[in-house]
Chain A
Amino acid sequence: MDTGLASELGTGMGVDLWAALIAAAIGTYLMRALPLVWMRRHLLRRSTKNTLEAMPTWLSVLGPLMIAAMFGVSLVPSKLSLASGLATVFGVLVTMVVWEKTRSLGWPVLAGVAVYGVVIFLASFLV
């Protein structure tokens, strides 16, 4: 991916790129912190503890859907081929099976990556 702006980066990020990075960082932080501050004040004003009902429904629905969308996007391998397609299918299946068994976050990811790697590795001998 050594194109255009990327090759300029070889000499270090310019001021404008640092500004973009800091803007993205501050924006990300504010999106994490401000809704919490707002909800705390909202509850104090209302003197209620029923936070979940006070949340707009569309907001709580959109959260999981965003993760589902990111999952769909990330499923597409960088190199599209039969091997990467098969590796994706097996990787997803194994991740699901290990998640069913362990209900943890770490092991299913490790197992999924390992199986994905094994399929790609085996395919490299066949092609």
Chain B
Amino acid sequence: MNLQAETSNNRPWLMGVRESIPLLGGYIPVAISFGLIAVQSGFSSWEAVAISVLIYAGASQFLFVAMVASGAPLWFVVVMTLLINARHVIYGPNLVPWLTGSRWWPWLMHGLTDQIFALAHTRLPQLAPDERVGWFFGSSLLAWFSWIGGTALGAVAGKELTQQWPLFAEVMPFALPALFLVLLAPRFTSRLWSLALGSTVVVALVFSLNGMTNAAIPVAAIAGAVVFFGLGALK
């Protein structure tokens, strides 16, 4: 990704669209596998697309579909879906220093995903204030549409794809850990962070291997926080 600051010759929204193109490589495979898994779990194609339009958050959508398919109580499905997205609360406040006075910002936050946050956190400070809303609009809209389009493709062509290439459904979901790994890699910035993140991954992995997938995320994150603050206090 070339994130050099540019002059304002281009329309800002177009600049946003162009700069979020690298995100599609991560979004479309995951969205296809979501569409496929949703249909395999008993949802119709339109319902799978509706989930991607309305919730628009990868891991929690997989969780939503899997929990509904397993017959979990719906209130618990909603609570877990929100819990897995709880990290999103830290993104908005971190972008505030570069927000303009536009009333659009709160509405644009539907598009505030992990990847858009990472991109915006780097790019917004480099843009002129009057370009920022347009840039965010363009980049987040392309990402959202690619997620919806990928879901539709996975849902509609899912059965044919799995019949023609049975390994497809087995392979595509790997896009999810690969995506999380890429988001995580730049955060190993010190020994303290490496230990905290490493222990979180291990705890989550152990819980998940033992079938406790739902508890794995909050428990592992809390375990990582204990390591972070515990080791930090020893220094």
A107 to B86, CA, bound (A): 27
Known contacts A32-B91, A106-B23; 12 further A-B pairs (Cβ under 8 A): A4-B69, A5-B71, A9-B43, A24-B82, A36-B99, A62-B87, A62-B225, A72-B205, A99-B182, A107-B25, A113-B29, A117-B167
Taking the nearest CB of chain A, how far is it from the CB of B10, in angstroms? 21
- B16 contacts chain A at the CB level, 8 A cutoff: no
Q: Which residues of A does B touch, CB under 8 Å?
A: 1-10, 12-13, 16-17, 19-25, 27-29, 31-40, 43, 49, 51-52, 55, 58-79, 84, 87-88, 91-92, 95-96, 99, 103-110, 112-113, 116-117, 120-121, 124
Provide the residues of chain B in CB contact with A51, threshold 8 Å: 93-94, 96-97
Indicate if the CB atoms of B171 and A21 lie closer than 8 Å: no
A84 to B26, CA, bound (A): 21
Indicate if the CB atoms of B74 and A17 lie closer than 8 Å: yes
- B124 contacts chain A at the CB level, 8 A cutoff: no
Taking the nearest CB of chain A, how far is it from the CB of B200, in angstroms? 4
- B156 contacts chain A at the CB level, 8 A cutoff: no
Indicate if the CB atoms of A104 and B177 lie closer than 8 Å: no
Provide the residues of chain A in CB contact with B17, threshold 8 Å: none
Residue from the list A17, A23, A78, A104 in contact with B68, Cβ < 8 A = A17
A sample of 15 inter-chain contacts (CB < 8 A) reads A1-B42, A4-B70, A6-B69, A28-B56, A28-B57, A28-B82, A31-B88, A68-B220, A70-B180, A76-B209, A104-B22, A105-B26, A110-B25, A113-B174, A120-B167
Indicate if the CB atoms of B175 and A68 lie closer than 8 Å: no
Per DSSP, chain B at the interface is helix
A73 to B112, CA, bound (A): 22
- B234 contacts chain A at the CB level, 8 A cutoff: no
Indicate if the CB atoms of A95 and B182 lie closer than 8 Å: yes
Given contacts A28-B55, A36-B93, A87-B174, contact A71 B60 (CB under 8 A): no
Provide the residues of chain B in CB contact with A36, threshold 8 Å: 92-93, 95-96, 99, 105-106, 109
Within 8 A of A (CB), among B31-90: 37, 40-44, 47, 50-51, 54-57, 59-60, 64, 66, 68-71, 74-75, 77-78, 81-82, 84-90
Within 8 A of A (CB), among B129-183: 167, 170-183
